[in-house]
Amino acid sequence: MLLLLVLLLLVPRHPMIEARSFGVRYGEEPEQVLRDISFRLAPGERVLLLGSSGSGKSTLVSSLIGLIPHSHEAELQGHIAVQNLPTIHSSPGELSHRVGVVFQDPDSQLTMLTVEEEIAFGLENLGIPPKEMDHRIATALEQVGLGEYRSCRVELLSGGMKQRLVIGAILAMEPDLLVLDEPTANLDPRGAREVSKLLLDISRRRRELAILLVEHRLDEMASLATRVLLLDSKGRLALDLPAREAFGSRAETLRRHQVWIPTESAAALQAGLEPSFGELPLREALEKLAGSLEQDQPGRSGLLEWCQPAKPAPRSPEEPDPVLFLDKITVSYPRASSGGPVLKDLSFSLAAGELCALAGPNGSGKSTLAATAMGLIPPQKGRVFLEGRDLSRIPLRERSRRAGFVFQNPEHQFVTDSVFEEVAFTLRQQGCNDTEIRERTGETLNTLGLGDLARRNPFSLSFGQKRRLSAASMLVAHRKLLIFDEPTFGQDPRALEELLNLLDLLASRNTAVLVITHDMDLIWSRAHRVALLLDGVIALEGTPEDVFAREALLHRGGLIPPSRYHLHKALSPRSHHYEPCHL
């Protein structure tokens, strides 16, 4: 018996993932999206895949789960396999027995009415016997912390709970490999933290489970990784390192490749020091870094400047009236399960030249507020005013010239077959001549790093590039009001900086800018004002510094102050004050 056990241990196991000189090229595109990719992922490894926007991360994920080439046509070269099963010869259904995949939007993966039915759905497809199925459902729900919600309707769950349910449904199927493509992208900060803790807990319980993770929110997720793979801008594998080394001594290399790194690493580089990653919890690491810098040390002043909050917007004496004013509006959805209004007697104003962040937990009504402000949803009570005029009395064409809305899903806005024409479309509608269209479109595309992609089909872009294109189509016209729904998602550092600088420029030119966001760093560093939406009302308004000081109220709203806030507090404790939390 002992000899048999020894022989079993000596038998080489297939790697979870093996890629050898793997490459992908789409359709008529002259260049490969991925080229000459070679790596192995062993059982129990937890790999974080990094790369700038358009580097091929989603293409690699789609290749692993069989969507490429079986659902998305592409020309492949080399070899890629999951547990020695070549994905080019295996359908997504066949691979689902070995690979569990979690996408960005949990609603896109949820199909059943109740939590129990959602877990059972995948098990039924695998032909699991009823007795074993019941055990697996109970175990999976316990693993993801949803045991008491077994009979709950899926639509009543928060965003974080829905993502945990997706993970639970996959774990019940007992895959050997878990692939996660930006699993916290659509979650509020508390939901993102829940998913991060869940994945850490799962990795400790199931030590043979291999994980491949694509993620930008590294303060929450970096500690999960044991290894880091970096794709460069040409789709080549540029680095393959242990996570501590990647975010420690090689963090500057990652930053040069325009990928996100944890705040702990970024702050050390900003202070002129070599980062050491993962030795302390994040908040303690930042406090230790702040305490190690002398008052007159150059690195301290540079670090303090780096983590400064945004300042309030200067008020223009020429335009005293708000550009946008919601006057005691109430909005309900007749078939909503909650039965109550989404927005309740809510009032809100936005001035010219102001960049205001609208924050709140998933499902709090942020997108409803934005849609009502644009006239897409009429309020049951109250009125909306745009530049002092009742919005309901402004013709649609005139309204679209004065206000623009960048949706959360960029593909919902695409109406042409080229990047250039997508941006030029608005100007053509406004009657601009060809010379002006060419100049303004080219300038806007170049500003957002899309100039080289002018002839590409919008649907062929990476998600981050699509987000910038949808923003460009609104930014090219000179509107008085612009509303952005989660504009930072999917952007690499350089693209995000360009986009945020453009928002700053718009505000400086007296455009009223409203940003709906879960990005606490954006709020801290760019927003003149923050409005916190809770239970259908604006529960709190103020500067980022004032709002983040109300940590108890933020916690109730599913929000967590960003790491830069804690670093700023450690570097300049006298500038921070706290107030009791009340509505």
CA Rg value for the chain: 25
The distance from CA 249 to its chain's CA centroid, rounded to whole angstroms, is 27
In a domain, 469, yes or no: yes
Do 328 and 407 fall within a single domain? yes
CA distances from 3 to 6, 88, 94, 157 (A): 5, 38, 35, 51
Cα–Cα dist 274/248, whole Å: 7
Last residue of a domain, one of 225, 241, 260: 260
Do 549 and 473 fall within a single domain? yes
DSSP code string of 378-439: --SEEEEEETTEEGGGS-HHHHHHHEEEE-SSGGGG--SSSHHHHHHHHHHHTT--HHHHHH
Q: How many CB atoms lie within 10 A of CB 380?
A: 12
Do 241 and 353 fall within a single domain? no
CA distances from 276 to 216, 268, 304, 306 (A): 20, 8, 19, 19
Cα–Cα dist 162/184, whole Å: 11
Residue 280: strand pairing partners:
none
The dihedrals phi and psi of 191, each to the nearest 5 degrees, come to -60, -40
Using an 8 Å Cβ cutoff, are 267 and 307 in contact?
yes
Q: The whole model's pTM is what?
A: 0.84
CATH number at residue 489: 3.40.50.300
Cα–Cα dist 397/401, whole Å: 7
In a domain, 313, yes or no: no
The two beta strands, 46-51 and 210-214, are parallel
Cα–Cα dist 66/72, whole Å: 9
The distance from CA 105 to its chain's CA centroid, rounded to whole angstroms, is 10
Which tokens go with 548?
């983040």
In tens digits, the chain (583 residues) has pLDDT values of: 555 444 444 444 679 999 999 999 988 778 899 999 999 999 999 999 999 988 999 899 999 999 999 888 899 999 999 999 999 888 888 888 889 998 877 888 899 999 999 999 999 988 899 889 999 999 999 888 888 899 998 988 877 788 889 999 998 998 999 999 988 887 888 888 888 888 888 888 888 999 999 998 899 889 999 999 999 999 999 999 999 999 999 999 999 999 999 999 999 999 999 998 988 999 999 999 999 988 777 889 899 999 999 887 776 556 568 999 999 999 998 755 556 788 999 999 999 999 999 999 877 889 899 999 999 999 999 999 999 999 999 998 888 889 998 887 778 788 898 999 999 998 888 888 999 999 999 998 998 889 989 988 898 887 778 878 888 888 888 889 999 988 887 778 888 888 888 888 888 889 999 999 989 999 999 999 999 999 899 999 999 999 999 988 888 888 899 999 999 999 986 655 545 443 3
Using an 8 Å Cβ cutoff, are 151 and 114 in contact?
yes
In a domain, 1, yes or no: no
Cα–Cα dist 120/97, whole Å: 15
Q: Tell me the torsion sign for CA atoms 182, 185, 186, 188.
A: positive
In a domain, 84, yes or no: yes
Q: What is the dihedral of CA 93, 94, 100, 101, to 10 degrees?
A: -50
In a domain, 506, yes or no: yes
Instruction: Show the domain range for 472.
Output: 324-567
Do 50 and 199 fall within a single domain? yes
Using an 8 Å Cβ cutoff, are 319 and 351 in contact?
yes
Q: Tell me the torsion sign for CA atoms 496, 279, 578, 295.
A: negative
Number of domains the chain contains = 2
Using an 8 Å Cβ cutoff, are 57 and 64 in contact?
no
Identify the CA nearest to 492 among candidates 458, 470, 464, 520: 464
Reduced 3-state DSSP string for 425-481: HHHHHCCCCHHHHHHHHHHHHHHCCCHHHCCCCHHHCCHHHHHHHHHHHHHCCCCCE
CB-based contacts of 143-150 (< 8 A; 24+ apart in sequence) = 143/168, 143/171, 143/198, 143/201, 143/202, 143/205, 144/168, 144/171, 144/198, 145/194, 145/198, 146/115, 149/115, 150/114, 150/115, 150/116
Residues 110, 112, 115, CA angle at the centre, nearest 5°?
85
Do 465 and 544 fall within a single domain? yes
In a domain, 7, yes or no: no
In a domain, 308, yes or no: no
Do 236 and 377 fall within a single domain? no
CA distances from 32 to 27, 44, 451, 460 (A): 10, 31, 19, 13
In a domain, 541, yes or no: yes
Do 332 and 186 fall within a single domain? no
